[in-house]
Structure 1
Amino acid sequence: MSSFARIALVLGLLAAIGPFAIDMYLPALPTVAENLHASIAHAQATLMAFFFGFGVTQIIYGPVSDMVGRKPPLYFGLGVFILGSIGCSLAPSIDWLIGLRFIQGIGAAAMMVMPRAVIRDLHTGVEATRLMSLVMLVFSVSPILAPLIGSALIVPFGWRAVFVAVTIAALLGLLLTAFTLQETRPPAERISADLGTVLSQYWLLLRDRHFLGVTFIGALGMSSFFTFLANSSFVYIDHFGMTPTLYSLAFSVNAVGFIGASQFSAKLGLRFGMGRVVLGAVIAYAVSAAVLFAVVFGGFYNLAVLMVLLFVTFAFLGLVIPTSMVLSLERHGPIAGMASALGGTLQMATGAATIAISSLFFDGSALPMVTIIAICAGGAFILARLTLTDKEIAAPATS
């Protein structure tokens, strides 16, 4: 195996641990609500708590990794994640589960920041997009297989078995970090920063119009997928009468479209340039989401139509996410950890807020879910037009 493929495999598996804890859990949401005598909103809050911890603490991991290297924060995050997962498996009530999911999210945040920072340490441009796409290919094991594994565990063993499984996954991640991942931030490249320096660098990023614009293009795209995560099990299982196993299969179909499309991002970036790929993908994503909304709003749909339109929408989103991630870090190599962390925090916070909003309007049908997906897609399109310059869109790719 080439070193390029090996690093993609390791980073992809590490990045998949946090989403694995989300995707395995999705088929269990209705069961958790019933078992812990909780409302649908409280069950969804266990997801929102994870996203909140997952998002907010990335902003801490980033500067720490720029100062001490990429591996020490990974060890810490994996340890916290393991403790949180064990706690979730023993949670006696919905309130305990919400709190422990927050702790689990704090640990998972390290596995989101570090892979992106490592990619930026090693590559830029099309090569970075190529590595990001390969990482996402490995990362796809989570949305494709995790719901199936989750439903296979939930039926015979109950929802708590999901957290035993993610504890084992995190232990594997700990071994991978220790024995196969090389440190990509050598001492000579580390920054010596106090709180004031860290805050000034974050302020620099927050004043960077391009960084914020591209970051929120990805954030709105991810938020539309998070909306699907929070609502799809109730729509598919409760509204359409699917079993947890059939729901897992239906969920995996969307993941295949998302990941399959993402593998074309580097080739398209090489041919047309990264800015043009982002803009074209966002336009297609927004048009598809608008069609999805119109069909559902008009009542001209059934389960098959809903699944096909969601597949197409998320396939286009699969081109948006890796390209926008690479563009957001392109100009900030010396502080890649901080840029990755702030971008991740803003994206996860947007996702958590979107889940909270969707839970307020959820009525058991597909309409609130697809409405928010369409709004996110429209917002991403507007941001793309405002952020990407004519020069950026017209420029050929560079490696």
Structure 2
Amino acid sequence: MTKKQEQNIILLLGALQGIGPFSTDMYLAAFPTIAQELNVTIAEVAYSMSSYFVGICLGQLLNGPLVDRFGRKNPLLLMLGVYIIASIGCSMVNSVEGLIVLRFFQAIGGSMGMVANRAIVRDVFPANRLAQVFSTMTLVMGIAPIIAPSVGGFVVVCLGWRAIFWVLAAFASLILVLVYYFLPESRGKDRSVSLKPKAVLTDFYSILQNRAFLGFTLMAAMNTAGIFAFIANAPFVYMKLLGLNEQTFGWVFGLNAASFVVGSQLNRWLLKYHSSETIAKRGLLVQAVMGVFLVIVVAFSYLSLGSLMSLVAVYTFCLGMIGANAMALAILPFSKNVGSATALLGSFQMGAGAVASAICSYFDDGTAMPMVSVMAGVAFIGLAGLGFGSNYSQPFDKNDEAVFAGDH
């Protein structure tokens, strides 16, 4: 594989990964407008975020075996089509229940991008470069969480909230075309992979027997839970409690998201000198401290725009350092059934995100305390997962050299 091929793969996979942040972040600024038009509360609109997380979780469990059985590319194209159709449907709903249901199916389609994305990275790149590649992809797709809320706020003001989902459909359509013409198949069909429920469950069970996978997946899941506890509640905290309008919220949220990207890029440099486990441990320790400070700020009524932005910036900076390392460590033991392994990893991540956002909604008390409490708690659980996984992890195999399927 040439250097140019590598760069093209990373660029396209980064763009594909951007579908997720656009799908979650772009309509955040529209929560108050959607709630007003559909005559519901913002908390009820937030359930559409939770349904998206549930769809991402279940969708990956469905899509993982598909990419192991039929290759990476064709299932990806099919599910991008599902995502596009569901996005158009979201633009036409007249009830919050309809939005919640269609967001679920939107996630089913979008989840294939997450499964195929990570499987392709494992196919194409050697094991000792996985964390670095994931960090590079974060840089490529990092523009999405930075600009999505701002773009969403602009679209809401100029075109209305329904136009947001047309923009998402157009973006996914562009990605579909690029995948069709420019993404090579990294692993062909494997007829030995059975799609019978019993065989699929047996495969999942065998993956879950790997204790290193369990520990590092818990760490990755808590990382995602921290991200989405903030994402799902940021509109309420910034706009209702702190009084920001849609467009200002977009810029402020984007600045917090930018710190995530900076953290991921610092991780690329740190990987030259430290192991993934060491970097993740230090990031989790700082993240936990920031979580505790956030709880203290809210508990003693010191919450302000400056305090929230600064503490969340450091918190998300640490998330950026942790995420790529957690994913790389979790999928490292697998090759043949990497699609199913990445599906389980992703489903646990999105399941944790769904639970975190639902907990915040359930314990909604009109303050930021549910959000910051979850953000603090998941950091400590992530540390426990790292410790467990480290006890069973194996060093990188220098002979593990992944290649294009076409290069065999």
TM-score by length of 2: 0.93
In 2 relative to 1, CA 390–164 (structure 1 residues): closer, same or farther, beyond 3 Å?
A: closer
> Which residue number corresponds to residue 155 of structure 1?
157
Preserved CA contact (<8 Å) 2:80 2:109:
yes
Q: Is 1:31–2:22 an aligned residue pair?
A: no
Alignment RMSD: 1.8
1:49-198 matches, within 5 Å, as: 49-187=51-189, 191-195=192-196, 196-198=198-200
1:262-281 matches, within 5 Å, as: 262-281=264-283
1-structure distance, mates of 2:369, 2:44 = 21
In 2 relative to 1, CA 124–293 (structure 1 residues): closer, same or farther, beyond 3 Å?
A: farther
> Which residue number corresponds to residue 320 of structure 1?
322
Secondary structure in 1 matching 2:18: helix
Secondary structure in 2 matching 1:21: helix
Residues 290-313 of structure 1: per-residue CA shift (max 9 Å, x gap)? 222223222233211111000001
1-structure distance, mates of 2:287, 2:359 = 21
> Which residue number corresponds to residue 24 of structure 2?
22
1-structure distance, mates of 2:300, 2:383 = 23
> Which residue number corresponds to residue 388 of structure 2?
386
> Which residue number corresponds to residue 291 of structure 1?
293
1-structure distance, mates of 2:301, 2:94 = 41
1-structure distance, mates of 2:69, 2:393 = 35
Residues 269-324 of structure 1: per-residue CA shift (max 9 Å, x gap)? 23111222222222222122222222322223321111100000110111110100
Structure 1: 5+ residue runs without aligned partners? none
Match of 2:346 among 344, 347, 361: 344
1-structure distance, mates of 2:195, 2:7 = 36
Residues 171-230 of structure 1: per-residue CA shift (max 9 Å, x gap)? 10110110110100034x664324233221100112222111101101111111101111
Match of 1:377 among 376, 379, 385: 379
What letter corresponds to residue 193 of structure 1 in structure 2?
A: S
Once structures 1 and 2 are overlaid, which stretch shifts more, 130-139 or 284-293? 284-293
2-structure distance, mates of 1:239, 1:282 = 28
> Which residue number corresponds to residue 256 of structure 1?
258
What letter corresponds to residue 373 of structure 1 in structure 2?
A: M
Preserved CA contact (<8 Å) 1:273 1:396:
no
> Which residue number corresponds to residue 212 of structure 1?
214
> Which residue number corresponds to residue 329 of structure 1?
331
Q: Count residues with an aligned counterpart.
A: 396
> Which residue number corresponds to residue 46 of structure 1?
48
Residues 85-123 of structure 1: per-residue CA shift (max 9 Å, x gap)? 110001011111111111111111011111111000012
Secondary structure in 2 matching 1:192: coil
Preserved CA contact (<8 Å) 1:272 1:396:
no
Secondary structure in 2 matching 1:334: coil
TM-score by length of 1: 0.95
> Which residue number corresponds to residue 406 of structure 2?
none
Secondary structure in 2 matching 1:333: coil
Once structures 1 and 2 are overlaid, which stretch shifts more, 37-46 or 264-273? 264-273
Q: C-alpha displacement at 1:62, in angstroms?
A: 0.8
Residues 360-382 of structure 1: per-residue CA shift (max 9 Å, x gap)? 11233222211110011111112
